Chain A
Amino acid sequence: MRFLHTADWQLGMKAVHVGDAAETVRETRLKTVEKLLKVAKDKKADFILVAGDVFEDNAVSRLLVQRVADILSKSKIPLYIIPGNHDPLVPGSVWEHPAWEKCKSVRLLTEDAPVEVPGGILYPCPIKEKFSKENPTAWIPRETGEDKIRIGLAHGTVEGIQQDEVAFPIPKDAASKFGLDYLALGHWHSTAIYEDKEGVPRMAYSGTHETTKFGERDSGNVLLVEIAEKGATPVITQVRISELFWRTVEYEIKTPGYLPELRGRIEDFDYSERILLNVKLSGLFYAEEVAEIKRIEEILSSRFLYGRLDLSDLIPAPEDKNWIESLPAGIIRETGERLKGICESRKGSQPSPDIAARALMELYMLVMGISK
């Protein structure tokens, strides 16, 4: 038995902090689903398991539902899908859309009942509400005595994951407890594989197929699972399919020279049109490198899918005399000195040091003739 395990497509999700790139981020998630189907075909998967949260919400546009159904209907490989907590099986859910009736490749699993799949039996655990403290796998019968591979498909939180209020809790030993050869999980966006007591991997989160935000660890994968026979150790292969790269650069500048170096690095990025880059700089800022800021901003906005440069924690380097000495003596220099004094004041004082830093930079650029 060979199948592709995926989950948490979160189609139609909002991407609130990436500005104009939000629509691209959404579209890409859809395209990656197409890519996923191709991977399944390429890997000769018998079927695809989708462990919930295909959609971000039941109230997504019905056009999107239709588009997803259209994409999935092209698949020759059957997809077994359970509703997740983001798109639970409730009245008016996306699953009531008529598009699914003609989508023969999709088998929407709405009941806690075993289903025959190529080479085994699937025990689906569909989600029917947004939140519950019930274990969705609790219904799975332990051992039926049949000689078929037993696979579980569930959406929830494996016990042990830190959460304020655990939704849909799933025991850590759920797979071995219910005699499952493999339990395909959804809900957490990072790929995670759980081994049983014997060290056999029998339970896994595939993670989302496309990273959803900055700082999300080990996402953008699908799992290719191969199980030779009932009781055999599943062979799990992590396949990266994510199209977008969410990168964060955080750096504290202590000496001159970092900004040119950073500029050089980002200039050398491949596939920058697929990268969302969040640069957050802190520390010291040198007058001679003011022009680099402009250059970095230009590169970020022109080459990258999304780029953000946060300089709010940068202060003009106190030892950098150029900030003042470059200014003409008299009123202008005095103005510069005062602004620099504010920059070096305590954070949170008024006027704000970061505003003063920006003002000083403006003054410096005006004097030096650096256009914005």
Chain B
Amino acid sequence: MGPFSETLNILHAPNATGKSTLFEALRRALLDSHRVKSKELEAVRPWGRVLSPSVTVEFTHGGETYRITKQFLDKPMALLERKEKGRFVRLFEGHAADEEVQRIFTKNPSAKGLTRFQNWGLAQILWAPQGDLSYTQLTGDVIEDIQSFLDVQVTSGSDEGIEKRIEELYHRYFTPGGKLKSGKDAPKLVSLIQQLEGAEERYKKAVEEQAQYEDLIKKVEELRAKRSQYKQNAEEANKALETARLKVEGYKKLVSEKMQRKAKLEALDAKYLEMRQRIDTFESVKTELMEVRETLSKYEEDLPLREKELKDRQQKLEAAKEKLEKVRDRREEISKLHEKLGNVQRFLRNYEKLRELSSKVKMARKIQGNLEGLKKKISTLVAPDAHVLKELYKTRREYQNALSYGGPSVTVLDFIPELEGAIEIKRGTRTGEFRVIPGETITIKGIPDIEVYYKGVARIKISGLSLSTRDNEKKLREAEKKIQKLTKPFGTDDMEVLEKRREAFERISREIFETETKLKSLLEGFSSLGAMEKELLKAKKTTESLLKRYPEWSKNPPNVEALKMEVANFNRLFSEELGEAEAEWELAQTAFSAAKSALAGLASKIEELNKRRKNLEVKYSEMVETWGSFDNMMKTFKKLALSLETARSSLEEIEERLVSYGEDPTQIIAKLEDQLRLADELSQKALEEEKNMEGMMAQLASMGTYTQLAAIEEEKAKHEEEIRQEQIQVDAVSLLYETLVQVRSETLSGLVGPVERIATKTLHRIAGGKLNQVKLGESFEPSHIHPEVSETPVTLDNVSGGEREQIYLATRLALAEIIAKKERQLVVLDDVLTFTDAGRFARILSVLEEAAQKLQLLVLTCHPERYQGLSEAQFIDLEAIRFSA
């Protein structure tokens, strides 16, 4: 098919009509080795036929026309021809043909197959396989091509080698993650650090052992000093012991002598005491007997005096008793005075009651009389009660109604008297006698007739006309009858009179009630006036009875307060006299008892002393009989006292000599022996400990702790120095590498900028400014976009599928534009932009049209209608070609 337009070509066909096969054929022809064998290529072989896939492509490059023919799988071949003077001339064959075509199309021929995207060369950018505009990192050769197209010298060939060596140097020490390597590939520094750590451990132990050795030296020195001190102590104790033992000899002799003298003294002392006791007993009995006799004699003299005293006391007691009785007899006078006081109080209370009751009875009798008058008055008053009055008023209203309903005519007589007197109305609406006063008109009504009798003057009869109906008249008559019936008991039907009577009745009733209330109040506490009168009578009788007893009270009423005072004075005097008399009696009684008791005691004592005297006299006789006379006994006693004194002096003399020894020398020996034993024990213990320490020290000394420590310190220092050197080397390599990476990164970011700007501009044309800015990685792959609404860039995972393919298209076209600066390049898009909506697709068409000015675009699609807007494009119907073939 062909020839293709140098600008825009739309190759269209329905599905399964060979679009992808065409893409594959182009790719294999222009980019791949003819000897390649892959599953993808096997898939191109026609089904069920043993045919080898082959392809021939004619193309222009550098003003020359070329033709490449390749056959794959069976009998593979490649032939590159160039058109010279109108005919194709063989240029390269086989592998050379592959390489030359690849060089033309990818710049960097690769011997490797096209299965891997990395081997596609510039086609990584220019060729988009079916439905996939995306690509990952571009390979180094492509990046370099782009850089070269951008006219920027980033690295030269030699640079690459140096960079590579720097990287190798760096990776000798560090992992790709930037950590120091470990394990078998670890740099020397790591093993040195490990060795140093091991040495540090051993160093600690060696330092401890050395310190232990030094410590043991000090301890042994201390123990030796201690042992020396113990030895000295033991020697001193030994010397003291010898001296003490000599002392003990003399001391023991003295102690023995002392014991003998002490025994003699104790024997004499016992005899002395016995003799002394006998003498004391003798003297005691003798003295006691003498005392008993004296006392007895004295008691016997006292006996008559005691008897007389008892008699006196008895007389005084009787006199006191008599006086007390007399005082007690005055108690009756007190009773009488109290009775009189009670009567006075009763008289005065009764007198007051009498006065009050008399007044009340008098008043009550008067009220009682009034009440009876009122009751009599009301009993004579004929007045209607409230019910009758109410009924009467009702009947009168019925009567008046009957009249107003056309009842009989009312006749009215105005009676104007000229003289005072009385008239009797015989017939009329109101009947009865009425007083008349001159000049005051009395209006008399009759239905219809009026009859008035004015006594002594005239009888006046007036007849009126009756115009009532029969029924009304009946009601009128009935009312009239009822009025008459109701007023009959009261002798008048004059309502005013009846009202007044009623008022009078009510007034008298009220007065009766008030009078009864007053009477009841006056009789408070009494059931009736009679009861009050009875009480008054009783009071009168009581008064009379008291006046009969105390007639003087009728003239002079008694003074109760004076009498009360009199009673109180009498009581006080009586109490005082009684207390005094009782005290006197008690005193006399006590004295009498004491005298009686004293007399009895004296008698008893005399009896007892007599007994004691007899006993002592018997005892004294027995002592003389047993021990001899008292004088002889005294002589023996004096001799004994002298012997005792001599023995005591002898003992004191030897005790003084013992005191000069101070502490008991035998005790001192025991103490010294203890000290000596202790010093020996301590010395022995210190020696054992010393030997033990020396053993430990010898063991450490044999180890040569210092020598060991020195060796380890040297080893440590050596490692530290080596580590220092290695660390400098490692740090230097790290710094070199990091600086290189930083410089490279900064340089590359300077290259990416122009591509980003072109891609961003294209994207703005397609999708508007929403996505804002396309950000590329170091390998020119779209890595982020920086939307207007976001403060930070976002990855492509955050945009829609349509936008993602638009970003990739924009980037590919930007890169293709840069690559095509020197020579028009072929861009192949196989059924891409499947996620793009119609609006943006239309804008993409404009972009493609514009791009086609610099690039040869080959678009494979099954939707040619979507590209109809491309007026300049050449549409190639694959299906039509197929049918025509």
* Residues of A bordering B, CB below 8 Å: 12-20, 22, 56-64, 90-93, 308, 312, 328-332, 334-335, 338-339, 342, 351-352, 354-356, 358-363, 366-367
Contacts and interface: CB of A to CB of B under 8 A. Distances in A.
B216 interface: yes
Given A16-B714, A61-B707, A367-B162, A92 B735 contact: no
6 contacts: A14-B713, A16-B714, A92-B697, A92-B700, A334-B743, A367-B162
Interface in B163-189: 163, 165-166, 169
A307 B706 CA distance: 26
A335 B167 CA distance: 13
Contacts of B381: none
A332 B163 contact: yes
B162 A12 contact: no
Contacts of B732: 355-356, 358-359, 361-362
A15 B708 CA distance: 13
Nearest to A341: B739
Given A17-B721, A59-B706, A60-B704, A328 B713 contact: no
B733 A362 contact: yes
Contacts of B710: 12-14, 56
Given A13-B710, A19-B717, A356-B735, 13 more contacts: A56-B706, A58-B701, A59-B213, A60-B706, A63-B704, A90-B221, A92-B694, A330-B155, A331-B744, A359-B731, A359-B739, A366-B165, A366-B166
Contacts of B714: 14-16, 18-19, 22
B721 A19 contact: yes
Contacts of A356: 732, 735
A366 B169 contact: yes
A20 B509 CA distance: 155
A231 to B, nearest CB: 41
A360 B718 CA distance: 27
Contacts of A354: 728
Contact of B156 (A16, A17, A330, A342): A330
Contacts, number: 145
B217 A331 contact: no
A329 B713 contact: no
B155 A331 contact: yes
A92 B213 contact: yes
A20 B747 contact: no
Contacts of B163: 331-332
Contacts of B697: 91-92
Interface string B138-163: 00000000000000011110110011
- The 5 tightest CB contacts between A and B, nearest first, are A61-B704, A14-B710, A358-B732, A59-B706, A91-B220
A57 B708 CA distance: 12
Contacts of A360: 736
A109 B713 CA distance: 32
Contacts of B220: 91-92
Between B166, B224, B747, the greatest number of chain A beta carbons within 10 A of the residue's beta carbon is seen for B166
A339 B717 contact: no
Given A92-B216, A335-B736, A359-B736, A16 B701 contact: no
Nearest to B698: A92
Contact of B739 (A60, A61, A339): A339
Given A58-B706, A359-B733, A363-B166, A331 B154 contact: yes
B156 to A, nearest CB: 6
Interface of B: 153-156, 158-159, 162-163, 165-166, 169, 210, 213-214, 216-217, 220-221, 224, 694, 697-698, 700-702, 704-711, 713-714, 716-718, 721, 728-729, 731-733, 735-736, 739-740, 742-744, 747
B153 A330 contact: yes
Contacts of A61: 704, 707-708
Nearest to A309: B725
B224 A328 contact: no
A290 B350 CA distance: 158
Nearest to B727: A355
A25 to B, nearest CB: 9
A127 to B, nearest CB: 14
Contacts of A60: 704, 706-707
Contact of B718 (A20, A91, A92, A363): A20
A338 B736 CA distance: 10
Contacts of B158: 328
A58 B701 CA distance: 8
Given A60-B704, A60-B707, A339-B735, A92 B743 contact: no
A331 B160 CA distance: 10
B740 A331 contact: yes
Contact of A12 (B694, B706, B728): B706
Contacts of B743: 331, 334-335, 338
Nearest to B707: A61
Contact of A334 (B169, B702, B747): B747
Contacts of A19: 714, 717-718, 721
A17 B721 CA distance: 8
Contacts of B711: 14
B876 to A, nearest CB: 46
A88 B624 CA distance: 102
Nearest to A94: B701
Nearest to A352: B731
A352 to B, nearest CB: 7
Nearest to A351: B735
Contact of B162 (A59, A332, A355): A332
Contacts of A20: 718
Contact of B704 (A64, A91, A338): A64
Contacts of B740: 331-332, 335
A363 B747 contact: no
Nearest to B705: A59
Contacts of B166: 363, 366
Contacts of B742: 338
Contact of B707 (A64, A331, A352): A64
A92 B733 contact: no
Between B163, B220, B702, B728, the greatest number of chain A beta carbons within 10 A of the residue's beta carbon is seen for B728
Nearest to B152: A330
A14 B706 CA distance: 9
Nearest to B162: A332
Contacts of A367: 162
A355 to B, nearest CB: 5
Contacts of B709: 14, 59
Contact of B217 (A12, A90, A308, A328): A90
Contact of B717 (A17, A63, A92, A352): A17
Given A330-B156, A332-B163, A352-B731, A62 B701 contact: yes
Contacts of A57: 706
A190 B364 CA distance: 158
B735 A359 contact: yes
Contacts of B717: 16-17, 19
Contact of B700 (A59, A342, A352): A59
Contacts of B721: 17, 19, 308
Nearest to A92: B697
A363 B736 contact: yes
A93 B166 CA distance: 58
A330 B163 CA distance: 11
A59 B701 contact: yes
Nearest to A334: B743
A91 B736 contact: no
Contacts of A15: 714
A22 B216 CA distance: 29
B154 A330 contact: yes
Given A15-B714, A58-B217, A366-B165, A355 B159 contact: no
Contacts of B728: 312, 354-355, 358
Given A92-B213, A328-B162, A62 B156 contact: no
B150 to A, nearest CB: 14
